Structure 1
């Protein structure tokens, strides 16, 4: 496997590159060729690596290590059959070489046979005293298999071998998060920080775990330590801003977001966060200024356009909101979030035809959220298309078959249509499923909720639930 890349080319690499520029042929030891090939592989210069392998094998045709590097390149380029034939030959010469098992595992992994890859990597562990790279590969294979527990265990071993292996540390935390074991992640990171108290990466990850658990003072302290360890750590300032925002400390949050803008090129996400802080402070002009900066910095950021649209929507300026959501749609007409917001705006403007079109497009683009179906049906009711409303709710029931809110809504619409039979059936089903949901029915259809026969159904349902 490739070594870590060097900061500057060694004498062997300089000599090799000089040879390539002339017609001269220089002799190198096999170890020199290995160093040269690793250098090119680590820098993504595969063509030069292949040239070094070819010349190296001409000078050292019996070198197993050079042949294994040839296999590595073949696997990288998906020449798997050729690589397997070469591995068969090498295994006859050196059956205890762990790199042979590793490369076979890479081939199986490329073929999506991760169980076989794991078995070969386990075999490789039997033939090496340096198992760091193998545990890293095992961790990745277990991730492919969605076995986050075993993946976590292997990445933990990598961290125990090298506590500066931040890639493995990130993977350990990722596994904890996927398993929703945030307490386990906190314990692990605190234990790690006892040994590495100045590791900004670990402090940053610890803060994120506290943030997930809504332990905001602890999260803030962790991000503070991350900043102390590295005062140019942009991620820590940004996350610290989010915590301060949650704590209602908007001025301090703004200061941290602005720090990220000073340390690196401005980002749309920072402008968006600053705008939200100003809006929460009631400073609408500064909020608008930063929202506009958001979409100027990244016109494709859907959150930016949506937050401007929502800003005007909340102010009741629906025409202005419509103007900005249309600008967003001109940039990305296939974004269901834009169409959904468009539906809400048209509804507020009582433009039910365009509201209906917008919600239909939202569904067509794959947004099947419950409130999308309910809002679309509500538009049909407002437009006096009761049969369409029932059809929409029936479609929604395919995605939410147990949703009592849909059943109550259908009951009310049946009754508005004068269809007391189906209205009664639907209402009885809804009351049986969730008696408390009747309060919402009462708000939406007050003209029916006080009728004697409805009150009798409610009373009977209460008696049944008590018994």
Structure 2
């Protein structure tokens, strides 16, 4: 007859695991109390061995058929191994044994949430709220469900409740920032994080999110201060260094930004984005060899990073190596075909190489993708004007003005084209519109057609607006 041993919760968990493994090896039958079984299951979960943990939970259920805890553990493990319907069944059995265990409703809520059955997820989380002692994680999940439903205002309410329960909940802090972002409500975001910091001045995550909110409001000096506090509290916080670098770039402090970007390498592996950002700073400082070397490091790490390929092109363009630049611009474009900036650079390089038809079709693409790019419209029409295709140049300017009715530069250019075509009345009409819009920019007209400085009618009209 098989001998039965009993092992209790007074044992060291490691001892319980050893006894359990011995039992399996010997094909024997030992008796473990509930706590010992829990310890063994947790041991295998920590070892990331859900299959073994499931096997233990089956033994535990046989020996303790009325303990809901093993059905709940089993359900968690079935979720991890994607056996959803079995997980639901285990939870139903657990609810029959112990309906007041919050974990049943939390796991069921998780399952429904992952299936995007939002109403059922919320129903289970609400039940769990009534039963659980600590509710911050449940409140966080309720917020997630509301986010999935596109109801960011309600999500914010629950995230604030979550943080009221547990000021340390980092996920809630980041999710809150995300919701304010989606609602484009940075003012309220700043207000919240400032209040939060008054109560919790050592929360690096709150300082970091405050910095991000200031960045989105264009308050870069304030953002840098906030990132500095985040770094002071957690000096290994690589994301804070990176975002501080971005804020310095916005203030055109490129040399300082490079130093800050480099500091991220002390705390995390260098990555393609940081190399690319450093490359861009060197590019702005017109140190093209350095810039190119960092862009190359970037594409070596991530060949799909279009901006880095583009950056290599910019450095070559700067050195008037247009043909080579074009090659890299096109590599960037292959990765991001709808990027108007890439098309603009290609148009410019093609023009400098004397490839006018190619330049023209690239400019056409730029204004199609970004009809608010005034410079692109001007350059596009210039190519046509240079080829004496005045009618088309005027048509392009008319489209440009239709898309950018506030841009005085476009009216002045239209005046030049209309004069060149001999349409004086129409030209004077546009001149009045240009001067009404921005009288200071009238020099644009003379840059394009210097001979108009001798035209008394035009000078009189301009004087009327500028004196």
Residues 107-137 of structure 1 show CA distances to partners (whole Å, capped at 9, x for unaligned) of 3323322122112211222233332332122
Give the unaligned 5+ runs of structure 2: 1-11, 435-467
Q: Partner of 2:257 in structure 1?
A: 253
Q: Partner of 2:182 in structure 1?
A: 178
Deviates more, 1:169-178 or 1:241-250: 241-250
**2:324 counterpart of 1:320:** yes
Deviates more, 1:186-195 or 1:46-55: 186-195
Residues 204-257 of structure 1 show CA distances to partners (whole Å, capped at 9, x for unaligned) of 222222222222232222222222222222222222222333333333222222
| SS across alignment from 2:131 | coil
Given that residues 215 and 247 in structure 2 are in contact (C-alpha distance below 8 angstroms), is that contact kept between their aligned partners in structure 1?
yes
**2:452 counterpart of 1:448:** no
Provide closer, same or farther for how the CA distance between residues 42 and 343 of structure 1 changes in structure 2, counting only shifts above 3 A.
farther
Q: Partner of 1:402 in structure 2?
A: none
Q: Partner of 2:276 in structure 1?
A: 272
Looking at structure 2, the residues matched to 359 and 242 of structure 1 have their Cα atoms a distance apart, in angstroms, of 30
Looking at structure 1, the residues matched to 71 and 18 of structure 2 have their Cα atoms a distance apart, in angstroms, of 23
Q: Scaled by the length of structure 2, what TM-score is found? A: 0.73
Given that residues 268 and 297 in structure 1 are in contact (C-alpha distance below 8 angstroms), is that contact kept between their aligned partners in structure 2?
yes
**2:130 counterpart of 1:148:** no
What is the Cα deviation at residue 376 of structure 1?
11
**2:215 counterpart of 1:211:** yes
Q: Partner of 1:167 in structure 2?
A: 171
Given that residues 352 and 379 in structure 1 are in contact (C-alpha distance below 8 angstroms), is that contact kept between their aligned partners in structure 2?
no
Given that residues 211 and 223 in structure 2 are in contact (C-alpha distance below 8 angstroms), is that contact kept between their aligned partners in structure 1?
yes
Q: Partner of 1:412 in structure 2?
A: 394
Q: Partner of 2:27 in structure 1?
A: 23
Given that residues 377 and 396 in structure 2 are in contact (C-alpha distance below 8 angstroms), is that contact kept between their aligned partners in structure 1?
no
Provide closer, same or farther for how the CA distance between residues 436 and 260 of structure 1 changes in structure 2, counting only shifts above 3 A.
closer
Looking at structure 2, the residues matched to 10 and 192 of structure 1 have their Cα atoms a distance apart, in angstroms, of 43
**2:306 counterpart of 1:302:** yes
What's the C-alpha RMSD, in Å, of the aligned pairs?
4.2
What is the Cα deviation at residue 306 of structure 1?
0.7
Given that residues 339 and 361 in structure 1 are in contact (C-alpha distance below 8 angstroms), is that contact kept between their aligned partners in structure 2?
no
| SS across alignment from 1:350 | coil
Rg bigger for which structure?
A: 2
Given that residues 143 and 159 in structure 2 are in contact (C-alpha distance below 8 angstroms), is that contact kept between their aligned partners in structure 1?
yes
Looking at structure 2, the residues matched to 212 and 358 of structure 1 have their Cα atoms a distance apart, in angstroms, of 32
Query: Any residues of structure 2 matched to 1:35-74 within 5 Å, and which?
Result: 35-41=39-45, 44-74=48-78
Provide closer, same or farther for how the CA distance between residues 292 and 73 of structure 1 changes in structure 2, counting only shifts above 3 A.
closer
What is the Cα deviation at residue 441 of structure 1?
5.3
**2:125 counterpart of 1:121:** yes
Residues 44-78 of structure 1 show CA distances to partners (whole Å, capped at 9, x for unaligned) of 43212211211111211222121122233334444
Given that residues 310 and 331 in structure 2 are in contact (C-alpha distance below 8 angstroms), is that contact kept between their aligned partners in structure 1?
no
| SS across alignment from 1:104 | helix
Given that residues 33 and 52 in structure 1 are in contact (C-alpha distance below 8 angstroms), is that contact kept between their aligned partners in structure 2?
yes
What is the Cα deviation at residue 378 of structure 1?
8.3
Q: Partner of 2:441 in structure 1?
A: none
What is the Cα deviation at residue 321 of structure 1?
0.5
Looking at structure 1, the residues matched to 311 and 396 of structure 2 have their Cα atoms a distance apart, in angstroms, of 37
What is the Cα deviation at residue 412 of structure 1?
3.2
What is the Cα deviation at residue 11 of structure 1?
4.6
Provide closer, same or farther for how the CA distance between residues 25 and 131 of structure 1 changes in structure 2, counting only shifts above 3 A.
same
Give the unaligned 5+ runs of structure 1: 1-7, 390-408, 416-422, 463-467
| SS across alignment from 1:266 | coil
Given that residues 339 and 358 in structure 1 are in contact (C-alpha distance below 8 angstroms), is that contact kept between their aligned partners in structure 2?
no
Looking at structure 1, the residues matched to 433 and 235 of structure 2 have their Cα atoms a distance apart, in angstroms, of 63
Deviates more, 1:92-101 or 1:306-315: 92-101
Q: Partner of 2:112 in structure 1?
A: 108
Deviates more, 1:335-344 or 1:103-112: 335-344
Looking at structure 2, the residues matched to 50 and 225 of structure 1 have their Cα atoms a distance apart, in angstroms, of 46
**2:100 counterpart of 1:96:** yes
| SS across alignment from 1:126 | helix
Given that residues 360 and 383 in structure 2 are in contact (C-alpha distance below 8 angstroms), is that contact kept between their aligned partners in structure 1?
no
